[in-house]
Amino acid sequence: MGFLPNSGSFPPLLDKAQRNGTFYVTYTTLSFVCPAKPSNSKNPRVFFDVDIELFADIVPKTAENFRALRTGEKGTGWTAGKPLHFKGCPFHRIIKKFMIQGGDFSNQNGTGGESIYGEKFEDENFHYKHDREGLLSVANAGPNTNGSQFFITTGPTPHVDGKRVVFGQVMKGLSVARMLENGEVNGEEPAKLSLADLKKAQEIAQEIKLSRQNCLVKQMIKAQEDKEKAVYAKMFA
């Protein structure tokens, strides 16, 4: 039932590196964050604008559910009757100093979603704690009610230990989650950015960064020119 790297369960068009347990979508990243948990090179990774390692060695069924929902390879859901795919799915709930939550691809408000195994599936284990930012965990309505919804922690959240299954960690690009966390979004209102829209946010941030760098360079050049003019003025005074 679960996902095991190198199991041959990947789509046929993926290249050799992808077949060996890593799934790539060609997005660049914003920043680097040291992983909270010991990383396993055989674990799969999925890329939005963040690089996420899925703990397939610890929670294979939960990891495979997320991976397949990212690719959309499982077709239409049995319960919701909608594609099992995160495409266009918003972060519908954001709570500062806690988490950003998404994954409701059917209703987009926290009331829907579905796993690749059917509507709900069981908690695999609670091996990892929610002890830092950048952890990927299941969002559910109680014990053994896991579907497609997930959240990324934006700080330690020990109150959900033993209640939510940690199944991945952000390896790069945590600043994307921080951008969402600090946006003008009420905890009960849908976020304006979807998973796909994060690329646009990154491009805007990069443009701002380059603009600031160009401005700084111009200021340095002008300061040097002014200094040289002052020297020449003294020489020929």
* Residues in Cβ contact with 54 at an 8 Å cutoff, skipping those fewer than 6 apart: 43, 44, 45, 46, 63, 66, 67, 136, 167, 168
Among 95, 97, 98, CA closest to 191: 95
44-60 pLDDT, tens digit per residue, is 665 556 788 999 999 99
- pLDDT above 60: residue 234: yes
Domain assignment present for residue 205? The answer is: no
Cα separation values, 164 from 1, 120, 151, 178, Å: 20, 14, 10, 21
- In terms of phi and psi (left: phi > 0; alpha: psi -120 to 50; beta: otherwise), the region of 119 is alpha
141-171 pLDDT per residue, tens: 999 999 999 999 999 999 999 999 999 999 8
Residue 172 near residue 147, CB atoms below 8 Å: no
The pLDDT assigned to 17 comes to: 33
Q: d(Cα 180, Cα 197) in Å, to the nearest integer?
A: 11
Q: Does 237 map to a domain? A: no
The whole-angstrom separation of Cα 128 and Cα 137 is 10
CB atoms within 10 A of CB 103: 24
The CATH number of the domain where 128 resides is what?
2.40.100.10
Which secondary-structure segment (H or E) carries 102? strand 99-102
Closest CA to 165 of 37, 90, 58, 11: 58
Residues 51-85: pLDDT tens digits? 889 999 999 999 999 999 999 999 999 888 899 99
On whether the CB atoms of residues 45 and 65 are closer than 8 A, the answer is no
**Cβ atoms 93, 110 nearer than 8 A:** yes
The pLDDT score that the predictor gives to residue 42 is: 76
> Is residue 68 in a domain?
yes
Residue 126: give the domain boundaries: 16-196
Number of separate domains in the chain: 1
φ, ψ of residue 121 in degrees (nearest 5): -145, 165
The answer to the question of residue 209 being in a domain is no
The angle formed by the CA atoms of residues 25, 29 and 32, to the nearest 5 degrees, is 130
Question: For residue 233, is pLDDT > 80?
Answer: no
Q: Is residue 214 part of a domain?
A: no
Residue 4 lies in a domain: no
In a domain, 146, yes or no: yes
pLDDT at 196 over 70: no
Q: Which residue has the higher pLDDT, 130 or 34?
A: 130
By three-state DSSP, how is residue 83 classified? strand
Q: Is residue 227 part of a domain?
A: no
Residue 185 structure tokens: 């979004």
